[in-house]
């Protein structure tokens, strides 16, 4: 939500609001849906009739689902055998436990979309964290996108330029806005439940940004993985230091700002989103110079008063005074970015961490969060649900995957700071869960915890002395951090089990497990060496990024994303040369077979245990948009970050020396998740896409036509 203060040019504001905006319209962008999805949405109108004919839904029934991202089947079993997870053991004895097969590939947005829809990626259209634009070969994030405001709007039916210029200023107002689109296709299980008059609360489930709009007011939801910070990124921190290092001006995931301490005071700026209310074309024409993206950002100036003798400081930002002690995070601070003075502000939230007061000054500020009580982008449905949560538990992280893995990777955090921040995230989420559990009286409650996933990614090396990134001086102290986190979740489960009644079905599950990430396979290097990916004359492989420099007139196969491989198919890709049909099929077969033969020159291990052909493994209307091959990596291997971003490094495979040391983007059979219930599980090999039919069946609703699984209790 954009807040509007009392305006100074009142007559102008009244003119825009009263005379112009009510008569202004524009074509609202919508996701492209297959005919099958349109039919599925239309079929929701018949769900209530089906229930009435079968005797009606069980109005006393409750279903509670805990989604613990990344909880690993092998680790969980080991800790249960050691007696460290007594509540999980008790639940397994009371009802059932099983491994839970993940998605192909076992990436969180793909896996949770399987869970949400009861379909595989061919039915929901999410295949990787990263998808490619078929025309340009450039990547984009797979789960959501923001459509800018259209160039034209209609006022009283008359096409006009989509902006109202405020006279005598550089400010403009769009007459019609853009839209934020959820790119996951298919129908969510809670949409079916709502059609049957079953109330639902869906808290932070991944692949649900922006949250699906409730059709009848029976669903409350908050978006999870895919939710950006206020900059529209997956999380961009700010770090202010008197001691910048070489390369600190070009970090992924954050900005480093050099500062000086003068007479005990640091003057700095916290930057927010670009100001879309300014007419930059007009300003550039007047100034005769181009304005960069960073110059378009709205900033909030602040001062830090550093105590000359003690490790403390005070931050003055806006109307807030924030007292900081070295080594401690502040509480949340509301910050307001002024887009148009006296008219438009954007509200955000930030925490401050004083890493060092002396001798060097170092201050970390979290990515600025979307304020759930005052939303600049939609993160709850209905919008007032966000304010309800803030009233109940206070402010909390709203961005997806809030543990700051990039700050740890770049050395701004060490293990101690990262685990402290991770604990804050966990504690906030637990408070939200306790509130929702106390309010849970009917229907379905789904609640998501993400701390185990992000912590296992970053802290695996601490418990694995054989990992290439293991540093005994730094990591040995934290060897039990992940185990202790599992124990914390056992405590949460104990709270839940004590609150249950005989009418409540409890399901605890994860979307995938984990494996070590020892070695990284550079897929595009292999394609280049094998002659499938060809560069333009004079382009060196190590200079390629985002596939720029590729000669598409000779390239037949390319990689983009963590597990995805595409054939450069004619009439599909922008410059495709491989003919669809027999030629493309034979090429896919050839590449898949050769990939499965590739061995690590250092260890002689098979690096790709299975190359999955989309047409053989996916079902549904979106299979045609899938990668042609999904690469299933062996234990200890993963596609490199350089593969994901379209790079061609100089070697085929290399040690993973990053803090990001555990992963799950391997073959899905290597990283099963967990499934615990308070009812016996009869399914022999449950998969994530079985869970949507399971949830419907608990309320007496038949499996829908697009769902490929079955209830785990049948």
Tell me: the pLDDT tens digits for 609-660? 999 999 999 999 999 999 999 999 999 999 999 999 999 999 999 999 999 9
Residues 6+ apart with CB under 8 A from 382: 214, 217, 220
> Nearest to residue 317, comparing CAs of 366, 269, 260?
269
Please tell me the total number of residues recorded for the chain in this structure: 714
The mean predicted confidence, pLDDT, of the chain is 92
Lookup result for tokens 């929701």: 44
Using one digit for the tens of pLDDT, what is the confidence trace for 409-420? 999 999 999 999
Spatial CB neighbours of 704, under 8 Å, sequence gap ≥ 6: 40, 43, 118, 187, 192, 693, 696
Closest CA to 333 of 368, 358, 364: 368
Q: Measure the CA–CA gap between 510 and 531, rounded to whole angstroms.
A: 40
H-assigned helices in 244-292: 280-287
β-bridge partners, 568: none
Domain range summary for the chain, segments of one domain joined by +: 518-663
Q: State the pairing for strand pair 200-205/219-223.
A: parallel
Q: Which H or E run includes 409?
A: helix 405-409
From the list 442, 501, 447, 429, the residue with the least C-alpha distance to 218 is 442
In tens, the pLDDT along 558-597 reads 999 999 999 999 999 999 999 999 999 999 999 999 999 9
Confidence bin at 517 (pLDDT 50/70/90): very high
pTM for this predicted structure: 0.93
Question: What are the structure tokens assigned to 274, written together?
Answer: 């670009």
- Which residues 6+ apart lie within 8 Å of 137 measured at CB? 547, 550, 552, 558, 560, 573, 574, 646
pLDDT band of 38, cuts 50, 70, 90 = confident
**Cα dihedral sign for 185, 187, 189, 190?**
positive
Q: Are 450 and 204 in contact (CB under 8 A)?
A: yes
Distance in angstroms (rounded) separating the CA atoms of residues 308 and 291: 39
Instruction: Print the SS3 string covering 532-585.
Output: CCCECCCCCHHHCCCCCCECCCCCCEEECCCCEEEECECCCCCCCCECCCHHHH
Q: Taking Cα atoms as reference points, which of 493, 440, 434, 445 lies closest to residue 676?
A: 493
Structure tokens at 36: 């099958």
- Kindly report, residue by residue over 301-324, the tens digit of the pLDDT: 999 999 999 999 999 999 999 999
pLDDT at residue 7 greater than cutoff 60: no
What are the pLDDT digits (tens) for 218-227?
A: 999 999 999 9
Give the per-residue pLDDT at 28.
Answer: 54
Q: Is the pLDDT of residue 164 over 80?
A: no
């Amino acid at each position: 939500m954009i807040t509007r203060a009392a305006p100074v040019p009142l007559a102008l504001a009244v003119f825009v609001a009263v005379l112009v905006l009510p008569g202004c319209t524009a074509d609202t962008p919508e996701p492209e849906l297959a005919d099958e999805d349109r039919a599925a949405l239309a079929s929701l109108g018949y769900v209530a009739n089906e229930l009435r004919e079968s005797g009606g839904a069980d109005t006393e029934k409750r279903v509670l689902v805990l989604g613990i991202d990344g909880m690993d089947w092998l680790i969980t079993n080991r800790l249960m055998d050691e007696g460290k997870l007594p509540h999980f053991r008790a639940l397994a004895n009371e009802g059932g436990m099983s491994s839970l097969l993940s998605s192909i590939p076992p990436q969180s947005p793909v896996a949770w979309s399987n869970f949400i829809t009861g379909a595989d990626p061919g039915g929901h259209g999410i295949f990787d964290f990263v998808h490619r634009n078929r025309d340009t070969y450039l990547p984009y994030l797979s789960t959501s996108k923001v459509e800018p405001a259209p160039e034209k709007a209609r006022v009283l039916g008359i096409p006009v330029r989509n902006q109202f210029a405020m006279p005598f200023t550089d400010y403009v107002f769009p007459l019609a806005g853009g839209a934020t689109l959820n790119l996951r296709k298919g129908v969510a299980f809670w949409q079916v439940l709502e059609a049957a008059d079953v109330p639902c609360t869906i808290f932070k489930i991944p692949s649900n940004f922006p949250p699906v709009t409730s059709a009848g007011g029976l669903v409350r939801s908050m978006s999870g993985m895919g939710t950006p910070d206020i900059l529209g990124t997956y999380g961009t921190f700010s770090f202010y230091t008197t001691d910048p290092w070489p390369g600190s001006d070009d970090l992924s995931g954050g900005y480093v700002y050099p500062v000086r301490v003068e007479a005990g005071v640091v003057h700095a700026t916290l930057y927010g989103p670009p100001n879309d209310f300014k007419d930059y074309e007009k300003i550039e024409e007047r100034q005769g110079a181009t304005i960069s993206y960073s110059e378009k950002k709205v900033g909030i100036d602040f001062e830090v008063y550093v105590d000359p003798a003690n490790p403390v400081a005070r931050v003055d930002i806006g109307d807030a005074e924030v007292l900081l002690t070295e080594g401690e995070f502040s509480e949340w601070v509301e910050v307001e970015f002024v887009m148009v003075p006296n008219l438009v502000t954007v509200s955000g939230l930030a925490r401050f961490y004083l890493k060092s007061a002396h001798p060097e000054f170092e201050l970390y500020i979290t990515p600025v969060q979307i304020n759930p009580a005052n939303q600049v982008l939609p993160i709850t449905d209905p919008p007032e649900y966000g304010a309800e949560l803030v009233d109940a538990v206070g402010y909390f992280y709203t961005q997806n995957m809030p543990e700051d893995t990039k700050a740890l990777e770049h050395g701004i955090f060490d293990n101690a700071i990262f685990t402290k921040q991770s604990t804050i995230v966990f504690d906030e989420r637990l408070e939200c869960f306790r509130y929702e559990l106390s309010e849970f009286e009917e229907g379905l409650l789904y609640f998501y915890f993400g701390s185990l996933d992000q912590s296992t990614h970053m802290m695996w090396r601490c418990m694995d002395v054989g990992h290439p990134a293991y540093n005994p001086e730094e990591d040995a102290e934290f060897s039990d951090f992940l185990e202790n986190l599992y124990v914390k979740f056992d405590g949460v489960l104990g709270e839940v089990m004590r609150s249950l009644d005989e009418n409540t079905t409890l399901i605890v599950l994860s979307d995938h497990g984990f494996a070590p990430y020892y070695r990284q396979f550079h897929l595009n290097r292999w394609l280049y060496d094998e002659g499938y990916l060809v560069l333009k004359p004079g382009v060196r492989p190590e200079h390629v990024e985002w596939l720029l420099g590729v000669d598409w007139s000779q390239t037949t196969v390319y990689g983009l994303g963590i597990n995805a491989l595409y054939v450069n198919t004619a009439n599909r890709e922008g410059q495709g040369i491989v003919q669809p049909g027999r030629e493309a099929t034979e090429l896919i077969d050839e590449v898949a077979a050769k990939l499965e033969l590739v061995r690590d020159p250092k260890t002689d291990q098979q690096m790709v245990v299975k190359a999955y052909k989309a047409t053989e493994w996916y079902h549904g209307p979106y299979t045609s948009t899938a990668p042609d091959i999904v690469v299933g990596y062996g234990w200890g291997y993963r596609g490199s970050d350089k593969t994901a971003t379209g790079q061609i490094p100089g070697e085929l495979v290399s040690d993973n020396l990053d803090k990001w040391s555990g992963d799950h983007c391997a073959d899905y059979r290597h990283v099963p998740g967990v499934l615990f219930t308070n009812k016996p599980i009869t399914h022999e090999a449950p998969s994530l896409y079985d869970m949507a039919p399971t949830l419907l069946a608990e309320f007496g609703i038949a499996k829908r036509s697009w769902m490929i699984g079955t209830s785990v209790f049948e």
